[in-house]
Structure 1
Amino acid sequence: MDIAPAARAAPRYWVHLLLFLLTVVTTFTSYLLYFHFQRPYSLDEVTAEAAQRALSFSLSLLAILGTHEMGHYVLARIHRVDTSLPYFIPLPVLGVGTLGAVIRIRDRIPHRNALVDIGAAGPLAGLVVAIPILYWGLSHSTVVDAPQVPSRFPGDASLWAYGREVFAWVMAKVTHAPPEPEPVFNGVQTIFGDSLLMQGLTRLALGPLPEGKDVLVHPVVIAGWFGLLVTLLNLMPMGQLDGGHLAFALLGRHAHWVGRAMAAVLLFLTLFVTASWGLWLLVTSKVVGFGHPEVLEPLEPLSPTRKWICALCMLALIGCAMPVPLRQVVS
């Protein structure tokens, strides 16, 4: 006797719409809190212009994130893999107001060619939207005077630097050394890391920047920058990240060694460049992991076109890479 498979639950479109609208609100308010308001905060600063800038940031960011997930969704449906529409994840007050968006894949991937198509479609689709947004935003940005901030190795925010400070504090307590005078701070400046892709787009939109100059960016540039960061994180060849799908399609069961090598790179960056990479190292190694489920038809060969797509995604990973995504500089 054949048993009919259980019927799928009807799509709840209102859930997807509600989460999208909530994420518009949280990203809108996060822009005002972290990129517009002067401290202490004042509601008098929420002018029509400020609201317009916050909305342009919110919609640009969600366009990039939404296109990324829709790339996965469309290619999954083309390969007849059952999947959900994107779920946006609002994050009130913290960060940029969202943890991104996800889709739920309910079926096994049929073969390695489909795995490449589905895995690569997200980051490549996101870049197709992010690059013109960044170029337009940079073209509408302003070049201003700015002091050069030197880079150090080990980085000031690395675990090595923090450990050195803790050691110095302990030794000062043990030896009863007189306390050093407290430095006077005028403010904290957030500096966004420059990837090769960001540097190229800046040069294309504004020309070479003279020494002592920087860019006061339009809000959509900040959204595009976070879009590049999301692309970078997803393209890392680890577990079931987008890059992990591509690595498994190319290398099969040996792909986990590539993921472990990437984890070693993240550990190095955490120890000697910036401790902020430690969170992503923890997420990828303990939550995402290094394994990957087998496809249904493992013997179907990977086509040459899919190998070129993997190479293109590798170039995208290199273009989006930035050793220090964000720096807090005290002046």
Structure 2
Amino acid sequence: MTEPTGLVSERGAEQVSDAPATAETPPPTQSSQVTFTVYQGPPLDTIRSLVASHFLVKDAFIDQYGIPTIQVAAEPPHEKFRTLLKELAQHNLIGAIRGAGDTLTVRVFPKPQRKGSRTTLNLALFFATVATVLAAGYFNWSNADLFTVLVEPSSVLTKASLFAVGLLAIIGLHEFGHKAATNHHGLDATFPYFIPGPPPVGTFGALISLRGPPENRDQLFDLGLSGPVVGFIVTIVIAIFSLLLSTTVSPAIAQQLITGGATQDLGFCLPLVGATPNVSCEAPLLLIVGRILMPATAQGSLLFPNQELWFAAHIGALLTFLNIVPAWQLDGGHVSRAMFGPSGHRTATLIGLVILFMSGYLVFAFFLLIMMNLTRRGFAGVEPLDDVSPVSNSRKLLYLL
């Protein structure tokens, strides 16, 4: 089983996905967990003036942690706070807004310093992952059994290459889906870090690192949803290509496979018209739909999609499922945090863990529990700077769909 691809943040900014809390200054209240380094910036009066140009200020003070804190009258802050963030950025500052009832609280922090690009590391990990995925493909299809000889007699290198192209396309474009979302919202993020792994998959996925927290829940929603959506679309495309490269086995060869004992584990196949019931193979929904598109075949034939691309698509579907589980800081966790806020996200995480345990993904469920403990954030999700404004109505509708 592979680790899902995901989106993380670098130290110095709030974590986004699939890394420990970053700040060195403890939060003043439990409702504000986004923390940064000790404030060193313009005087309080300057900060108050900036905030007062957008909100009705009730009070302004330096709290016990040395953080400029401005209390303002409650009103929909979405657009006003986005404008305030741009003005704070001119002073190398960043802000967070929290609260409920008739008072909202704006806290101002030094903007986290941007770390340099590590393109060399990105490339090194990518090429290492290409090598390990190719090796996994070679390991998976190096045995010249009866099925290989009769159904897919192509070279092992060809099989390994097809598998690598299919799988890396799914994982890589999943990450570039996240990257596209960060670019759309003007957020700074790295290129993907691929993670090499052992056979039979050859990789533990990939991640990108976000160098700053999302501004609001809309951005958090988009960051979480973009990767799985793109990854799932690519998975379907790879599965379709596996059908286009499928092999139809004649009744005579099907009988040879049965006689030779090669039907115990034929991988993914679809018995066509009148195929013998002695053949044991998996027939997922897409294969059944694909049967409609295939030309008529002789009685007793079998249809095999390209096994290498189909296996890559199978892994892609698994990655998508694991990523959209609404738990912790998985992509689905980002979406649930954006939709339901802190308390709803904790409930969603519990539900997500139950889903993983009940569906048999025990290793991954325990992995999440370990990561939740190691990062010392427990059930906490990613916190946008504006954690007051809800997601837009269009995103709520998209979530329901």
TM-score, scaled relative to structure 1: 0.68
Paired residues of 1:88 and 1:102 also in contact (CA < 8 A): yes
Paired residues of 2:248 and 2:301 also in contact (CA < 8 A): no
Matched, 1:61 2:150: no
Q: Which residue of 2 aligns with 1:140?
A: 245
Q: Which residue of 1 aligns with 2:306?
A: 217
Q: How many angstroms does 1:136 deviate by?
A: 1.4
Q: How many angstroms does 1:186 deviate by?
A: 9.1
Structural mapping, 1:39-188, within 5 Å: 49-92=155-198, 94-144=199-249
Q: How many angstroms does 1:241 deviate by?
A: 0.6
Q: Deviations over 1:160-205 (max 9, x none)?
A: xxxxxxxxxxxxxxxxxxxxxxxxx999738577765x45654455
TM-score, scaled relative to structure 2: 0.57
Q: Which residue of 1 aligns with 2:358?
A: 268
- Root mean square deviation of aligned Cα: 3.2
Distance 1:204 1:117, change over 3 A: farther
Distance across 2 between alignment mates of 1:250 and 1:51? 46
Paired residues of 1:116 and 1:310 also in contact (CA < 8 A): no
* Corresponding residue to 1:245 among 328, 334, 355: 334
Q: Which residue of 1 aligns with 2:319?
A: 230
- Segment drifting more, 228-237 vs 254-263: 254-263
Distance 1:200 1:298, change over 3 A: farther
SS at match of 1:19: helix
Q: Which one-letter code corresponds to 2:382 in the other structure?
A: P
Q: Which residue of 2 aligns with 1:255?
A: 345
Distance 1:143 1:187, change over 3 A: closer
5+ residue gaps, structure 1, are 40-46, 148-184, 271-276, 313-331
Residue identity (%): 30
Q: How many angstroms does 1:218 deviate by?
A: 3.6
Distance across 1 between alignment mates of 2:203 and 2:368? 19
Q: Which one-letter code corresponds to 2:234 in the other structure?
A: V
Q: Which residue of 2 aligns with 1:26?
A: 132
5+ residue gaps, structure 2, are 1-39, 43-91, 93-110, 146-152, 256-260, 269-281, 373-377
SS at match of 1:189: coil
Q: How many angstroms does 1:9 deviate by?
A: 3.2
- Segment drifting more, 217-226 vs 66-75: 217-226
SS at match of 2:380: coil
Distance across 1 between alignment mates of 2:161 and 2:394? 39
SS at match of 1:52: helix
Distance 1:208 1:261, change over 3 A: farther
In terms of fraction of residues, the more helix-rich structure is 1
Q: Which one-letter code corresponds to 2:365 in the other structure?
A: L
Q: Which residue of 2 aligns with 1:280?
A: 364
- Segment drifting more, 131-140 vs 215-224: 215-224
Q: Which one-letter code corresponds to 1:258 in the other structure?
A: A
Distance across 1 between alignment mates of 2:316 and 2:235? 6
Q: Deviations over 1:105-133 (max 9, x none)?
A: 22112111101111111011112222122
Q: Which one-letter code corresponds to 2:364 in the other structure?
A: W
Q: Which one-letter code corresponds to 1:286 in the other structure?
A: I
Distance 1:217 1:269, change over 3 A: same
SS at match of 1:295: coil
Q: Which has the larger radius of gyration?
A: 2
Distance 1:305 1:12, change over 3 A: same
Q: Deviations over 1:236-292 (max 9, x none)?
A: 11011111111111111212212212222322333xxxxxx1101112233245321
